Structure 1
Amino acid sequence: MITAAGGVVFREGINGSLEICLIHRPRYDDWTLPKGKVEVGETLAQAALREVEEETGIKAEIVQDQTQVVKYPLETDLEKEVHYFLMKSLVQNFTKNEESDECLWVDVNLVESKLTFSRDFGVITGFDLLLGEY
């Protein structure tokens, strides 16, 4: 089992709606939520904040202790378990890097059509973001 952590990062958009941060990973040519492996000695929350900043340039704060957990098989016969935290964007300074070449803010009501994996949309809806509670 590979354990990873990431974030559903949101901000208030220009029209007042919520926007979700997605990244494009050129290695897989997909649009997804920022995430990565937990390093030795890190908590899930520490790993999630680090990975979000590494992949997006966003400094964020976790706004909910509860996580959404997704498990899926990898091509290597291992399973990956990702713990997602709900995060509010504080500062963004995206720089293209090895893992992600684009960072895109998408209106929460349109995000499903942009995501490559339906499991990512399940994570977003698990936090009730479509209800605009944040």
Structure 2
Amino acid sequence: MRSSEPIRAAGCVLWRRAASEDGLQIALVHRPKYDDWSHPKGKLKRGESALAAAVREVAEETGLDCRPGAPLPTAHYLANGRPKTVRYWAAEAVAGAFVVNGEVDRLRWCSPADARDLLTHERDRPLVDALLAALHLA
């Protein structure tokens, strides 16, 4: 990959039903390498589709299986001086359990308002609203 080509990544705004005012919770992951809270995401493997990568990254980072749904806005930003494009989907958690791994040391289920506050990067916050709109909760 040439350094001028964007890094291609994919992820999910992972959610589950909850008996709360919003009716759902959003999963955020903490990555100790960056000391940040974000949505599960990662780079595409060679020949892998963005959607397959998003589902794989959720499983690798959270230990959870998910059911992908509506596509959400794509994020574009610089990562270590290189352009990066991250495609996102809404995805419902359907099975599994979190286990600490090499990339993620914590998973937190949050209300949408708390998720907005906890997310480290401003670019990740609009994805919460996009999820609510996709689920017709906004």
TM-score, with structure 2 as normaliser: 0.88
Q: 1:37 aligns with which of 23, 43, 57?
A: 43
Deviations along 1:3-62, one digit per CA (max 9) or x if unpaired, are 000000111123362100000000011111000001111111100000001000110011
Mapped partners of 2:51, 2:135: distance in 1: 24
Which consecutive unaligned segments of at least 5 residues does structure 1 have? none
Mapped partners of 1:67, 1:114: distance in 2: 20
How much is the aligned-residue C-alpha RMSD, in angstroms? 1.9
Identical-pair percentage: 34
Q: 2:30 aligns with which of 24, 27, 32?
A: 24
Q: 1:62 aligns with which of 55, 68, 72?
A: 68
In the TM superposition, residue 131 of structure 1 has moved relative to its aligned partner by 7.5
Q: 1:115 aligns with which of 116, 119, 137?
A: 119
Mapped partners of 1:31, 1:127: distance in 2: 17
Matches within 5 A, 1:1-134: 1-15=6-20, 17-64=23-70, 66-75=71-80, 77-129=81-133, 133=137
In the TM superposition, residue 67 of structure 1 has moved relative to its aligned partner by 3.1
TM-score, with structure 1 as normaliser: 0.90
